[in-house]
Structure 1
Amino acid sequence: MLEWIRKVAVERPKVLGTLMILVGAIFVVSMGWWGFSAYKSGKPGIVARINGTPLYATEFSRDYEIMKNNYQRLLNGALGKKILTELNFPGLVLRNMIFRQLWIDEANHLHLVVPDAVVVSEVSRIPFFQEGNPPAFSSKLYTQFLLETHQSAKDFEQSIREDLLVQRAQVLVRAIQTPAAPTDEKTATSLDDWQKKRLALQEETLQSFQMQLENRSNVKIDQEAFKKLSKSLL
């Protein structure tokens, strides 16, 4: 299933450790700003199937470029082929996309919904679509973005809806582990320690639950198609 991806994507002791730490943060940035799996025109080729849901080459290629651009923006520099290869960057992107779909499936299983009004509000708050002082949503910038990325508003907004579903499902899982707040309010240290403990427990719970999602998932990867596509992107 995902073992072979994990092996080459994570167990790289000589690779830049700082970049590996940033993977999770960059994933969130990508989701929040652009919406994953938004480009669905044509859909030539299937890289994988996650619980029956196809992951198309166009979707993978787009998310690859999004994550790569986010890395470069955060590090203020280009990532060469050598670093991308050492990181097995395509493997990291694929793994993130697989887990995202697993969380979407779980959100649907929990019957979570994101109303249209919430999606519209989320899109309007994306800095990339704002202009002026004070910043305000620009339909012109939004339309320009859709044209440049060859996608419809419907597809992009569905992508945002799915991002929000993932966030809501993860919030519910994190809420499972919320230790009681300290009764001693005399010191800031006790509250600070409680907050650190709460965050650690919630993160541990989230990772454990995600592992359960992986263990009971049905993920089929077309390794030949994936390797060919990865080679063309590196």
Structure 2
Amino acid sequence: MIFQKVGAATCEGWGFMLEWIRKEAVERPKVIGALMVLIGGIFVLSMGWWGFSASRSAKSDVIAKVNGVPIKVDDYSRDYLIMKDNYKRLLRGDLGAKILKDLNFPGLVLRNMIYRQLWIDEGRNLGIQVSDQTVVQEIARIPFFQEGTPPVFSKNAYVAFLKETHQTAESFEESVRMDVLVQRAQLFVRAAQTIGNPPPQPQGTPTTDANAERVRLQNETVEALQNQL
């Protein structure tokens, strides 16, 4: 503890999806940003606030596999119920009921789980690591765990939360670590893609030196960003 971690469908080879995400991150950052905010919010709730047990039976049914990582039925069912409840809170009245009816929730939930795992894999492939200190800082920022004026982290509030949600500190802290990993992977990919697509050079401008300089700047920026992560 830091302060005291439908039918079986195989979804291997999701590299093309990461390529799409990378492309969208540059061309339509607002769209991909909104998508990732949604995904992040859903998974903070599902894996954190509602508890995430890493001790589930190995015999659980598997809905899908993302690069060999299984998405299990019990995890999917939990996220489905939480996500639908969140939408019901946000979308009220006749219009909200119609939207909820038209949405393909089973596919939406599974897609969100796949996106998250893809970003986790991408972050690991990039060598991004999230230290225990960073996890501590992220948890300490959560208002739910703060008390007093000015608000400061309360260990008692944190421990009470873990008991109420029937989870271990390790499982919650690991979910926070993965959230940070996803955020950093998105930042890293967007920065690298943006640097790799500079404005077009005016006609008649020498390109050899410009290209060399662009590559140098790209390498330096990516290296600097990696060091900061």
Q: TM-score range by the shorter chain?
A: 0.5 to 0.7
Which whole-Å CA distance do the structure 1 matches of 2:37 and 2:178 have between them? Answer: 18
Q: Residue 54 of structure 2 corresponds to which residue in structure 1?
A: 40
Q: Show CA shifts across 1:155-207 (max 9, x none).
A: 111111111111111101110215779xxxxxxxxxxxxxxxxxxxxxxxxxx
Tell me, in whole angstroms, the C-alpha distance in 2 between the residues paired with 1:163 and 1:50.
Answer: 17
The equivalent position to 2:173 in structure 1, one of 151, 157, 166, is: 157
Q: Distance in 2 between matches of 1:58 and 1:144?
A: 25
Give 2:130's aligned residue: 114
**Counterpart check, 1:96 vs 2:96:** no
Match 1:125 to one of 141, 146, 163: 141
Identify the residue that residue 185 of structure 2 maps to in structure 1: 169
Q: Deviations over 1:110-135 (max 9, x none)?
A: 11100000001101111222233322
Deviations 1:52-106 (A, max 9, x none): 11112222233223333433444467965x6434201121111011011011111
Q: What CA distance in whole angstroms lies between the structure 2 residues aligned with 1:55 and 1:34?
A: 14
Does structure 2 retain, via aligned residues, the 8 Å contact 1:50–1:101? yes
Q: CA RMSD in A?
A: 3.3
Give the count of matched residue pairs.
163
Distance 2:102 2:190 in 1: 33
- Asked whether the 8 Å contact 1:35–1:163 carries over to 2, the reply is no
1:149 CA displacement: 2.5
The CA distance in 1 between the partners of 2:178 and 2:120, in whole Å, is 6
**In the aligned structure 2, how far is the partner of 1:115 from the partner of 1:148?**
26
Q: Give the C-alpha shift of residue 23 in structure 1.
A: 5.4
32-41 or 151-160: bigger deviation:
32-41
User: What is the TM-score with the length of structure 1 in the denominator?
Assistant: 0.58
CA distance in 2, matches of 1:22, 1:174: 14
What is aligned with 2:39?
27
Q: Which has the larger radius of gyration?
A: 2
Identity of aligned residues (%): 49
Distance 1:29 1:147 in 2: 22
5+ residue gaps, structure 2: 1-10, 13-32, 200-229
- Say which is worse superposed, 84-93 or 116-125, in terms of deviation: 84-93
Q: Match for residue 121 of structure 2? A: 105
Match of 1:226 in 2: none
